[in-house]
Amino acid sequence: MGEPTQVIPVFSGPQCAPSNPFCWDWITANWSSILGPSLVQHIYITLIAVVVGLVISVAAALFAFSRNWFAGGFLAFSTFLYTIPSLAFFLMFVPITGLSLTTIEIGLTSYTLLLLFRNTLTGLRTVPRSAVEAAEGMGLTPQQILFRIRLPLALPSIMAGVRIAAVTVISLATIAASVAPLGLGKPIFDAIHTLFDTELVAAALLTIALALVTDVIVVGLQYLVTPWTRVRR
């Protein structure tokens, strides 16, 4: 691998020269057959990973809140995961779940766990002492304090985690496409060994745009779910 060997295998635009890195004709001609479906698939893959990861992480953080051994172990594992080359991590599950969406989602969800678990736990633990003391003084049980005081107050931290997790998944999902050909990674890998750059650039730009838009959407979402952080002056 490395040096390009094939010449223009995915080429359906009539006027596109291979040397042109950005040929608009090709993009309009192939939007509905290649780029559009890949984009939708990519969003779908990302959404599953983030939502599943969020559910697991919040549950795990609530469980770990009063159990330090669990938190310590989980965090150590999460640090370890980030040292693994992502492609190798995806490939590890292939013997079990095959070259499938499931394999990709297992890998991607694992990556979100680290970020979301850590941020949720930090959020739960850094609630102002005074708020907790007031709640205790009012006669709330530890359980009630955890769910009614700490969890809502952890939302800014959780959403910050969702923000990083979402863009991380979008990035890693492109690499996952070399395991199972799904999402925007597919056109990138299809085109990477050809001399035809338009498909490569179009898919890459679309991925970047998706990441940036997602980032903005999550920030907006955070703004919506944490109204109290807005009124502080």
Partner 1 sequence: MTGYLSFFSDQAALLVRLTVGHILLSVVAVVISIVIAVPLGAWIGHLHRGSFLVVNAGNVLRSLPTLAIVAIVIALFGFGYVNITVALVILAFPLVLTNTFTAVEGVDPGTVEAARGMGMTGWQILTRVELPSSIPLMMSGIRTSWVYVVATAYLATFAGATGTLGDVIANISGYGLTGVLAAATVSIVLAFLGDALLGLVERGLTPTGLALAQRAPATT
Kindly list the residues in this chain that would bind partner 1 in the complex (CB under 8 A).
1-4, 21-22, 80, 82-89, 91-92, 94-95, 164, 167, 170-171, 174-175, 178, 185, 188, 191-192, 197, 200-201, 203-205, 207-208, 211-212, 214-215
Q: Which is nearer to partner 1, 140 or 189 (CB)?
A: 189
Q: Which is nearer to partner 1, 97 or 171 (CB)?
A: 171
Q: How far is the CB of 222 from partner 1 (least distance, A)?
A: 13
Q: How far is the CB of 179 from partner 1 (least distance, A)?
A: 9
Q: Which is nearer to partner 1, 18 or 152 (CB)?
A: 18
Distance (Å, whole) CA 123 – CA 58: 11
Q: How far is the CB of 210 from partner 1 (least distance, A)?
A: 9
Tokens standing for 227? 């109204």
Q: Which is nearer to partner 1, 151 or 184 (CB)?
A: 184
Name every residue whose Cβ is closer than 8 Å to that of residue 202 and which is 6 or more positions away in sequence: 22, 26, 27, 35, 187
Is there a contact between 199 and 20 (Cβ–Cβ < 8 Å)?
A: no
Q: Which is nearer to partner 1, 52 or 211 (CB)?
A: 211
Name every residue whose Cβ is closer than 8 Å to that of residue 167 and which is 6 or more positions away in sequence: 211, 214, 215
Burial of 188 from C-beta contacts in 10 A (0-12 / 13-18 / 19+) = buried
Q: How far is the CB of 101 from partner 1 (least distance, A)?
A: 19
Q: How far is CA 30 from CA 43, 44, 202, in A?
A: 19, 20, 11
